[in-house]
Structure 1
Amino acid sequence: MRTLAASAFFCLVSLLHSPAASAQSLSCGGTLSGVGDSKVSVIQKCGEPISKEFVCVPRPQVAWVLSPYPGGPAQQVVTQQCVPMEDWVYYRGQGNFLGIVRFYNGAIESVRDGEKMR
């Protein structure tokens, strides 16, 4: 029973963290840019964005700290680390939402909607 529960948990975590489960794409002139595409690819498909901004995204980081006592067990510590990323904003036209493309290590990490343009 324990391995069945562990397998179910692993499958659930895999689905939640897969790009297809949470990713959008940016449509530009009939072509799509999505998770994993490079900055060069996005510029070729969509042109230059209306703005670019470097952001610090906090992400949990697990570390192990040795016990100060001889033979004591190591302790697991979770801290927040700043992960540098870049947000590009695209204007999609009057009445549409802005498209925000987040890059990590030169590739699209996520695409989301911004404010609606009036």
Structure 2
Amino acid sequence: MRKFAASTLFLSLFALAHTGSASAQSLSCNGSLSGVGDSKFSVVQKCGEPMSKEFVCVPRPQVAWVLSPYPGGPAQQVVTQQCVPMEDWVYHRGQGNFLGIVRFYNGAVESVRDGDRVR
């Protein structure tokens, strides 16, 4: 029963952490699309340099095992929040359009989402 509760807790936290994430989109640049899985080099080739770059810490659930303080006691599963370093590039799509925000993880596009509307 204890394993089931820990697994359920982990899955619930995982789903909650990913509920707010943007769906897979792409960024249209000069007739080409950049999307999930593209490298930084590929995005720069298609879209040019962004108007800004920012390193961000994205909290993600991480499962760790903690040894029991009692001899022979079972290890316990603990879910913690881990900082995952990522990089956000912001692209100006023109007046009246939304900013394009491309998030990179390990050098590849992790997500593309809309930012504020440019006035």
Q: 1:53-78 CA distances to partner (integer Å, 9 max, x unpaired)? A: 00111111000001111121111111
Q: Is the aligned partner of 1:27 residue 2:22? A: no
| Count of aligned pairs | 100
Structure-2 residue corresponding to 1:83: 84
Between 1 and 2, higher relative CO (CA 8 Å, sep ≥ 6) is seen in 2
Identical columns (%): 89
Map 1:30-41 to 2 at 5 A.
30-41=31-42
Letter in 1 for 2:79: V
The 5-angstrom pairing of residues 1-118 of structure 1 reads: 22-118=23-119
Separation in 1 of the partners of 2:52 and 2:115?
13
Aligned-residue RMSD, C-alpha:
1.6
- Normalising by structure 2, we get a TM-score of 0.80
The TM-score with structure 1 as length reference comes to: 0.81
Per the alignment, residue 5 of structure 1 pairs with: none
Q: Residues of 1 paired with 2:56 and 2:23: CA distance? A: 20
Looking at structure 2, the residues matched to 71 and 81 of structure 1 have their Cα atoms a distance apart, in angstroms, of 29
Provide structure 1 residue ranges, at least 5 long, that are not aligned to the other structure: 1-12
Moved runs in structure 1, 4+ residues, more than 4 A?
none
Q: What are the superposed Cα offsets for residues 36-59 of structure 1, whole Å, 9 maximum, x if unpaired?
A: 000000000000000000011111
Stretches of structure 2 that go unaligned for 5 or more consecutive residues are 1-13
Secondary structure at the aligned position of 1:63 is classed as strand
Summarize deviations over 1:9-44 as a string: whole Å, max 9, x none: xxxx9xxx8xxx920000001110000000000000
Alpha-carbon distance in 2 for matches of 1:22, 1:28: 19
